């Protein structure tokens, strides 16, 4: 490699490290472990960025098309199968992916043997579970409140062994910082959506279009990941090694089970107490609000853990970093959440179409509550692992479930919207748990965390006043879009009047524009 190429690579590494707030040496130590892997870091950053850009450009378009071709009942049927698949995958994966990614193997032979044990355990368990689901598909369909979907459940759950086949391969790529192949897999999935899912939806007009598409995407991912991989499974197995791996994964499994209960119990109850139409409205409302907020959060949240980890022995500095991260995230994500809440009718009409009108209030409620969850819960939640306390998330998930589960069961007696609202509000209970835990662990006051985003909250309050003031005269789509523009101008105008807020906004703007220019000129 030439001196100029080395210099260009070093500049790129310095830029990436600076973007996530780490010294270059710490960045290389965390992500690489040795300087010989510098080029992999640069390449991984490029492919990861390309994946996000492609997904954000294509996914909303495909969603808008499919939402107009398929009914809420179709999405409800797929939500039912998702409950079963996600629960089964808790036991098939069992944390093997994280073990492969994080474990420090003694040599290549040790690594390959562990990967083989993980692969065969994953695959065999997934086949057994799929067979059980097929054998008991009728009672399972009744349990989840979807009689008549027995065949769909049996077919859709073929995704379990398909995912098991490729999950370990995916972990190998992540461990080696090879994001080029996952990028190809993601792009193939997007292509399948346009050239298979949408035509199937036009032809079948049922949930089978989504089920078949999901299976095709799973098979294609497994083939591509295996074809390009340097690792191939061999007939090696060790129960002693499996026991060691299971011991490592115990807390991961427990946390996954609790997370599944917290995330899917409400969907399970909706499927049983209501109907497929209600289930489709319920699940799609959550997904839509969450995906809109991911435009900001998905490119930001992943950098929290590595940033916190480098300051685990300097608690005062960690506290300052937490507040800084929260400020940067909240400046952008809070106005998005309030916009979803204030203009949920318009957003639903434009994004999903008129047949989803009853989802509008649910989308608004979840968008607002989830915004606070991201700006506080997610920012605080990454601290626990960073300071080597992985059991804390399990304790918090348990306390969250103690309140969430009875709340969902009781509120479901009073209708879908009441249950949805109660489910969303339980996130505020989790918010209070995080604030108390952070106070105990790193002595950061809840008042300081909330006060840190007080200007943003006041700005969102101004947005709310303006929105309701203009609601009586802004009845057309054009006028409502103009109203949103006025709200955002008022929000940033207010923050711009505060010196510290203005400096942060200018810094975010400069960073964003420089990143866009670099990516355009590079690719």
pLDDT of residue 34: 39
The 8-class DSSP code of residue 523 comes to -
The rounded radius of gyration (Å) of the Cα atoms in the chain is: 24
For the chain, what is the mean pLDDT? Answer: 78
CA distance 268 to 286: 14
1-5, 178-182, 271-275, 459-463 — which one is most confidently predicted on average? 459-463
User: Is pLDDT of 265 > 90?
Assistant: no
Instruction: List phi, psi (to 5°) of 399.
Output: -65, -35
Three-class DSSP category at 110: helix
Residue burial 460-471, b: 16+ Cβ < 10 Å; e: rest: beebeebbeebe
pLDDT band for position 21 (50/70/90)?
Answer: very low
Find the range with the poorest average confidence among 36-40, 359-363, 474-478, 486-490. 36-40
User: Is pLDDT of 328 > 90?
Assistant: no
The full set of domain ranges for the chain reads: 37-273, 276-388+432-523
Residue burial 74-101, b: 16+ Cβ < 10 Å; e: rest: bbbbbbbbbbbbbbbbebbbbbbbebbe
Kindly report the number of other CB atoms within 10 A of residue 509's CB atom.
10
As a whole number, mean pLDDT of residues 299-327 equals 79
Give the contacts of 144 (CB within 8 A, at least 6 positions apart): 80, 83, 84, 268, 271, 272
CA distance 514 to 522: 12
pLDDT band for position 202 (50/70/90)?
Answer: confident
User: Is pLDDT of 157 > 90?
Assistant: no
pLDDT band for position 523 (50/70/90)?
Answer: very low
pLDDT band for position 104 (50/70/90)?
Answer: low
pLDDT of residue 25: 44
Helical (H) or strand (E) element with 35: none
Q: Own/partner pairs for 518-522, CB < 8 Å, 24+ apart?
A: 518/15, 519/49, 519/53, 522/46
DSSP calls for 330-382: HHHHHHHHHHHHHTHHHHHHHHT-GGGGGGHHHHHHHHHHHHHIIIIIIHHHH
CA distance 180 to 47: 5
pLDDT-above-90 percentage for the chain = 17
CA distance 143 to 271: 9
- Residue pair 225/164 in contact (Cβ under 8 Å)? The answer is no
Angle, helices 108-135 vs 239-273, to 10°: value is: 40
As a whole number, mean pLDDT of residues 229-249 equals 76
- Residue pair 171/182 in contact (Cβ under 8 Å)? The answer is no
User: Is pLDDT of 96 > 90?
Assistant: no
Residues written for the chain: 523
Query: How far from each other are the two terminal CA atoms of the chain, in whole angstroms?
Result: 21
CA distance 417 to 41: 46
Find the range with the poorest average confidence among 127-136, 202-211, 455-464. 202-211
Find the range with the poorest average confidence among 12-26, 143-157, 476-490. 12-26
CA distance 361 to 365: 6
Q: What pLDDT digit, counting tens, does each position of 124-142 carry?
A: 888 998 999 999 989 888 8
pLDDT of residue 292: 82
Helical (H) or strand (E) element with 467: helix 454-470
Q: Where are the alpha helices (DSSP H) in 136-238?
A: 137-143, 150-156, 159-175, 180-192, 198-204, 208-228
Output the CA angle 518-520-523, nearest 5 degrees: 100
15-24, 149-158, 268-277 — which one is most confidently predicted on average? 149-158
């Amino acid at each position: 490699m030439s001196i100029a190429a080395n210099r260009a690579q070093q500049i790129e590494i310095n830029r990436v490290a600076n973007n996530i707030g780490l010294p270059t040496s710490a960045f290389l130590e965390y992500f690489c472990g040795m300087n010989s892997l510098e080029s992999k870091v640069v390449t991984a950053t490029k492919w990861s960025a390309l994946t996000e850009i492609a997904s954000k450009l294509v996914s909303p378009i495909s969603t808008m098309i499919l939402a107009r071709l398929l009914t809420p009942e179709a999405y409800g049927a797929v939500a039912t199968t998702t409950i079963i698949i996600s629960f089964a995958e808790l036991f098939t994966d069992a944390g093997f992916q994280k073990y492969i990614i994080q474990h420090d193997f003694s040599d290549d032979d040790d690594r390959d043997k562990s990967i083989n044990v993980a692969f065969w355990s994953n695959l065999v368990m997934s086949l057994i579970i799929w067979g059980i689901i097929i054998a008991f598909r009728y009672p399972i369909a009744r349990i989840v409140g979807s009689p008549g979907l027995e065949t769909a459940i049996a077919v859709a759950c073929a995704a379990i062994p398909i995912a098991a086949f490729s999950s370990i391969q995916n972990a190998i790529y992540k461990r080696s910082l090879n994001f080029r192949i996952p990028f190809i897999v993601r792009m193939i999935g997007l292509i399948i959506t346009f050239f298979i899912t949408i035509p199937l939806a036009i032809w079948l007009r049922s949930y089978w279009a989504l089920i078949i598409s999901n299976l095709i995407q799973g098979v294609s991912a497994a083939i591509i990941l295996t074809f390009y991989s340097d690792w191939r499974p061999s007939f090696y197995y060790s129960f002693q090694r499996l026991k060691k791996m299971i011991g490592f994964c115990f807390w991961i499994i427990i946390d996954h089970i609790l997370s599944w209960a917290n995330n899917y119990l409400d969907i399970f109850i909706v499927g049983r107490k209501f109907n497929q139409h209600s289930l489709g409205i319920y699940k799609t409302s959550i997904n839509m609000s969450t995906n809109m907020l991911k435009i900001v959060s998905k490119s930001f949240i992943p950098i929290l853990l590595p940033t916190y980890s480098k300051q685990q022995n300097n608690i005062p500095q960690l506290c300052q970093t937490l507040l800084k991260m929260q400020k940067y995230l909240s400046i952008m994500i809070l106005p998005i959440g309030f916009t979803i809440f204030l203009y949920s009718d318009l957003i639903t009409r434009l994004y999903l179409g008129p047949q989803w009108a009853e989802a509008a209030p649910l989308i608004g409620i979840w968008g607002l509550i989830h915004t606070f969850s991201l700006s506080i819960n997610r920012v605080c939640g990454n601290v626990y692992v960073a300071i080597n306390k992985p059991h804390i998330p399990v304790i918090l998930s348990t306390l969250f479930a103690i309140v969430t589960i009875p709340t969902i069961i009781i509120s479901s007696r009073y209708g879908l919207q009441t249950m949805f609202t109660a489910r969303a509000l339980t996130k505020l209970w989790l918010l209070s748990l995080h604030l108390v835990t952070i106070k105990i662990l790193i002595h950061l006051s809840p008042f300081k965390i909330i006060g840190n985003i007080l200007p943003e909250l006041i700005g969102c309050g101004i947005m709310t006043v303006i929105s309701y003031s203009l609601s009586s005269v802004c009845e057309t789509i054009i006028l409502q879009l103009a109203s949103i523009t006025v709200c955002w101008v008022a929000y940033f105008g207010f923050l711009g009047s505060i010196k510290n807020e203005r400096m942060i906004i200018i810094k975010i703007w400069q960073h964003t524009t420089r990143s866009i220019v670099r990516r355009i000129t590079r690719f």
